[in-house]
Structure 1
Amino acid sequence: MSSEIDSSTLLSRASQLIDLAKKAGADAADAVVVRSRSQSVSVRLGKVDGTESSESDDFSLRVFIGKRVASVSANPGFDLSALAERAVAMAKVSPEDPFAGLADADKLAKSYADLELLDTTEVSSDQLRDAALEAEAAALAVKGVTNSSGAGASAGTGGLVLVTSHGFEGSYMASRFGRSVSVIAGEGTAMERDYDFDSRIYFGELDDAAEIGRRAGERTVKRINPRQVDTGKDVTVVFDPRVARGFVGHIAGAINGASVARKTSFLRDKMGQLVLKAGLSISDDPLIVRGPSSRPFDGEGVSGERLLMIEDGILKHWFLSTSTAREIGMETNGRGVRGGNSVTPSATNLALEPGDISPEDLIRSVGSGFYVTELIGQGVNMITGEYSRGATGFWIENGELTFAVSEVTIASNLKDMFMRVTPANDIDRKFGVAAPTLAIEGMTLAGR
């Protein structure tokens, strides 16, 4: 990665696109460039398995004529005038969208802070290769590990350049570095697989490659010789933080304004009501310095702020972009994300705020139950809340993790799960979705 990342040329081209679109007949327009630079190396059994390097600057122009909207995309080197004229011609024959339009001018970020999202450390392909090899070697050195599914290391940057016809102009870049390894323990039909990884904005904050490998190996060996357990209808299930992040993702999906507008969320009529166990809160903050999903402004030029989406169990906010907010009679809260030619609402740095009990004490308090380390399948219905997933993990007996468990299914309804969840205090905020260990009472476990 280059240590000099200059967006001035892209800002200039985006501004020219806006001017040309207005000249061609657009009432309003915005131009966005999504920047991406990445390189990665993968290895398996001590040999390089693949290398990859990519660079892209993807332009998108969105134009509005009254309530008609059209978008076009192009790569660098395109003819600015032709692109603008094409977009306007498309908009003239598009159906009207009553909610289409730029963000209101008074919502635009007038200035924005440096969130320290870019580490300009240059990482060579040799460094990536060596880190991947080191992680794999450490995992294979764990007694009981019999094979490797591969290891990898990556480095990259991504960001946004945005110009609108009503006065916004801005850009930002963020870096991302990662290391991962996956290995196998056991033989034949008794083989088990697991993995570990780390991902950071700053290269120097990455976990040591050998430590990642050791953790991956130890996790995998613990899964050897799993058993099935008896079916039960009132089981306390404890979600490992890795699994708990997915659970919080379901909460985010249920309070996404787009789902509310489409009537595809089981919480769509619950604003201002208790939807999560009393005392628990879900926060979302786009402005955390060095935050994994931070951004100084959203895909429409609006600056978000920290929100308690759910406070003391009560639903306070939806995730909203401009068009989604207009559709449900509200105002954007700066959660718009550019995806191709569209803008949709999404979370930023999302967290289910931790409790005050250690994960060890939480497990002890369970007595007998099921500790989940991995979920299988997509058995979640966001319209009804019905939840049914294949699961593997460990049986809890007398407050301790005992033997490995596989080939079971856990089931409930998310509405009930939200009301029965108890968080531990071990949250790790290095992930865009952060959650501590979670215990959920009253689930059904389908076993033998």
Structure 2
Amino acid sequence: MEDHTQSLIDRAASLVEAARSAGADAADAVVSRSRSKSVSVRLGKVEGTDASESDNFSLRVFVGERVASISANVTGDAAALAERAVAMAKVSPEDRHNRLAPQDRLAGSFPDLGLFDDTEVASERLTDDALATEDAARAVDGVTNSSGASASSGSTGMVLVTSHGFSGAYRRSGFSRSVSVIGGEGTGMERDYDYSSKLYFADLRAPADIGKEAGERVVRRLNPRKVETQTVTAIYDPRVARGMLGHLAGAINGAAVARKTSFLKDRMGEQVANAAVTVIDMPGKPRGHGSRPFDGEGVAGDTLTMVGEGVLNHWFLSTSIASELGLETNGRGVRSGTSVSASSTNLALKAGAQSPEEMIKSVGTGFYVTEVFGHGVNMVTGEYSRGASGFWIENGEIAFPVSEVTLASNLRDMFMRIVPANDLDEDYATAAPTLAIEGMTLAGQ
């Protein structure tokens, strides 16, 4: 495998050299590597098996302030590809912000972040795991059908070579098990799921545990009631809370700020969330799902406190986005096809003091949210309106399931009212604990 990685680095280097020879002032070449194997089952039978391997190249060339990118395959003629890319760049519009990352920001060393597990999982094992996961879910009393289960293994990787001296590569493994089942009959059916996704195969939760949790989750949702329209404190289960953190990440992405499509675009250095809210982004976290020794432009990103005690400190920036804003990249560049965008890495909202149980008890009456759906989030204005289901809280305890309601507010107000619990599970690229948010409008019957 190391020999193959070196051959990809050599191939990328040859594309960059060919670009310079063809007249490019600067260039970089990226190889996106992917290996995957998966098995899906339903009702005890194998429905599908998939396996794929790919090494996809892209070459980006700069001619003055003009830039062009081109996709390639491993067997393409380097000189011909480079000449075509340079010809495209010469007729492209000027873009004074698009450039290679500053040379003094490039990673000089690549720490071992423990991102790769070389365990080879046979298709037979994937099949057995998927079947066992589904069997455990279907064994839960009240589960009446299955949407299927799956198990997968694979890896992704990146090779980057630039004309100003950067050359690096890394790999990341990934393993998963998941199941989705149905409970109830007719119009009273409900659906829920569970899954486990890890970088290391041995860290996956057992199929029996995943299946049991999925089955029990769906059974708890059966026979939901409707509630009256009112103002409530909503407590977001960690699954849903991660989506709330995702909204914040989108609002502080430099691309949205530069395009003026974020409701936080003018709030740098200001209080944008409750003082209990601190959000940290950690690209160098060992075994982190979003970790990387360098970003999509070769920059080593530092750990950043994006929001500290409610105060906004940073945007997510790549080189071009930073240039648009008059700033410098902070190593959050991501290759997306032939372009570079910006994104978080391992983003976590720090835990609070209360346990979820204490939080529920302190609320007295409220709504515990386990699922939201719909696209009712306007990132320009912050307006928030989403369908939701979950459980009603009475006398500080979970009382009964609730469905067919809508939760509405504005993200500006929601972030200022967020209170985190102490159950943060950092085993996700976007991680948040249980969150309580006062003053939500619940539209019911």
| TM-score normalised by length of structure 1 | 0.99
Equivalent position amino acid for 1:337 in 2: V
Deviation at 1:352, TM superposition (A): 0.7
How many Å separate the matches in 1 of 2:395 and 2:162?
61
How many Å separate the matches in 1 of 2:413 and 2:256?
20
Deviation at 1:370, TM superposition (A): 0.4
| 1:212-251: CA deviation from partner (whole Å, max 9, x where unpaired) | 000000000001001110000x210000000000000000
Equivalent position amino acid for 1:407 in 2: E
Partner of 1:268: 265
Partner of 1:101: 99
Contact 2:372 2:388 in 1 (8 A): yes
How many Å separate the matches in 1 of 2:222 and 2:98?
55
Partner of 2:438: 441
**Which of 123, 126, 151 lines up with 1:125 in the alignment?**
123
How many Å separate the matches in 2 of 1:398 and 1:38?
49
Give unpaired runs (5+ residues) of structure 2. none
Q: Relative to 1, partners in 2 of residues 1:41 and 1:9: Cα closer, same or farther, differing over 3 Å?
A: same
Deviation at 1:114, TM superposition (A): 0.7
Equivalent position amino acid for 1:352 in 2: L
| 1:354-373: CA deviation from partner (whole Å, max 9, x where unpaired) | 10111110111110000010
Partner of 2:393: 396
**Which of 297, 317, 330 lines up with 1:333 in the alignment?**
330
Equivalent position amino acid for 1:127 in 2: R
Equivalent position amino acid for 2:395 in 1: N
Partner of 1:291: 288
Residue 326 of structure 1: SS of its match in structure 2?
Answer: helix
Equivalent position amino acid for 2:179 in 1: V
Residue 219 of structure 2: SS of its match in structure 1?
Answer: helix
| 1:86-106: CA deviation from partner (whole Å, max 9, x where unpaired) | 000000110100101100100
Contact 2:276 2:352 in 1 (8 A): no
State yes or no: 1:364 paired with 2:335.
no
How many Å separate the matches in 1 of 2:3 and 2:429?
24
Equivalent position amino acid for 2:97 in 1: F
How many Å separate the matches in 1 of 2:81 and 2:341?
23
Equivalent position amino acid for 1:396 in 2: I
Residue 228 of structure 1: SS of its match in structure 2?
Answer: coil
| 1:147-190: CA deviation from partner (whole Å, max 9, x where unpaired) | 11000000010010000000100000000000000000000111
1:42-441 mapped onto 2 (5 Å cutoff): 42-232=40-230, 234-441=231-438
How many Å separate the matches in 1 of 2:296 and 2:122?
31
Aligned residue pairs, count: 445
How many Å separate the matches in 2 of 1:124 and 1:429?
29
How many Å separate the matches in 2 of 1:365 and 1:294?
37
How many Å separate the matches in 1 of 2:123 and 2:235?
40
Deviation at 1:279, TM superposition (A): 3.0
How many Å separate the matches in 1 of 2:171 and 2:415?
36
Equivalent position amino acid for 1:390 in 2: G
| 1:44-98: CA deviation from partner (whole Å, max 9, x where unpaired) | 0000010000000000000000100000001221111111110000001101001
How many Å separate the matches in 1 of 2:435 and 2:124?
40
How many Å separate the matches in 1 of 2:437 and 2:276?
15
Residue 379 of structure 1: SS of its match in structure 2?
Answer: coil
| TM-score normalised by length of structure 2 | 0.99
How many Å separate the matches in 2 of 1:75 and 1:407?
49
Equivalent position amino acid for 1:328 in 2: L
How many Å separate the matches in 2 of 1:136 and 1:391?
26
Partner of 1:41: 39
Give unpaired runs (5+ residues) of structure 1. none
How many Å separate the matches in 2 of 1:300 and 1:5?
23
Deviation at 1:278, TM superposition (A): 1.0
How many Å separate the matches in 1 of 2:94 and 2:241?
42
Partner of 1:12: 10
Deviating more after overlay: 74-83 vs 393-402: 74-83
Deviation at 1:4, TM superposition (A): 6.2
Deviation at 1:5, TM superposition (A): 7.3
How many Å separate the matches in 1 of 2:154 and 2:8?
19
Equivalent position amino acid for 1:257 in 2: G
Contact 2:276 2:420 in 1 (8 A): no
Residue identity (%): 66
Deviation at 1:6, TM superposition (A): 3.5
| 1:389-442: CA deviation from partner (whole Å, max 9, x where unpaired) | 000000000111111100000000000000001100101111100000000000
Residue 4 of structure 2: SS of its match in structure 1?
Answer: coil
**Runs of 4+ residues over 2 Å off in structure 1:** 3-6
